Structure 1
Amino acid sequence: MPIEVVDNAMEGRFEVLVDGKVAGFAEYRLAPAKIVFTHTEVLPDFEGQGLASTLVKQALEMSGDTGLRVVPLCPYVASYIKRHPEYQGLVDGSVGG
């Protein structure tokens, strides 16, 4: 089953697609030079497949590639960054994380 992560800027969220269908999303708000992650959700039919990790990993990488500093208000994004210290460098210094 093909899995893809896309930035749906019109909706203000990264989406994880499974076979072309939205299976989950990580909502964000843009601020000057920052991306504020506010909520991550995987739809019930797709839970337990590791999609949240795939989604957040790709969202962090895409954000870093554009030079945005990450503000992890979403508890899942914050815990993902704590478990994967290679992403600590993306976190905005004015935010504890």
Structure 2
Amino acid sequence: MSFLVEENPARRRFEILVDDALAGFTEYVPRGEVLVFTHTQVDERYQNMGVGSALIGGTLDQIRERGGRIVTQCEFMTRFIQRHSEYADLVVAEP
């Protein structure tokens, strides 16, 4: 199984493709230089397979690469960052 995480700016979300099929996404609202993440969804066919974690990890890696910051209103992303503290520096207070 191959994962690919890509930003889809037109839909304001990062998407994960599994073997070229859309398997999930995490939505955001841009606020200046900060992205406010509001919701993450993984297709039922791909749940409990690590797809959600791969999506969030890939999303946060891309945001780090471009020097971005985030606010998380999404419980799934919040829990992921709590378990993976190496991403905590990306989180800022609500703008």
* TM-score, length basis structure 1: 0.91
Q: Any runs of at least 4 consecutive aligned residues in structure 1 with deviations exceeding 4 A, and if so which?
A: none
Tell me which residue corresponds to 1:49: 49
Q: Which amino acid aligns with 1:5?
A: V
- Identical amino acids, percent of aligned pairs: 37
How many aligned positions are there? 94
SS in structure 1 at match of 2:4: strand
Tell me which residue corresponds to 1:32: 32
| Structure 2 runs not aligned, ≥5 long | none
In structure 1, distance between residues paired with 2:5 and 2:67: 18
Tell me which residue corresponds to 2:79: 79
The answer on whether the counterparts of 1:35 and 1:63 sit within 8 Å (CA) in structure 2 is no
| Structure 1 runs not aligned, ≥5 long | none
How well do the aligned residues superpose, as a CA RMSD in angstroms?
A: 1.0
Deviation at 1:33, TM superposition (A): 1.3
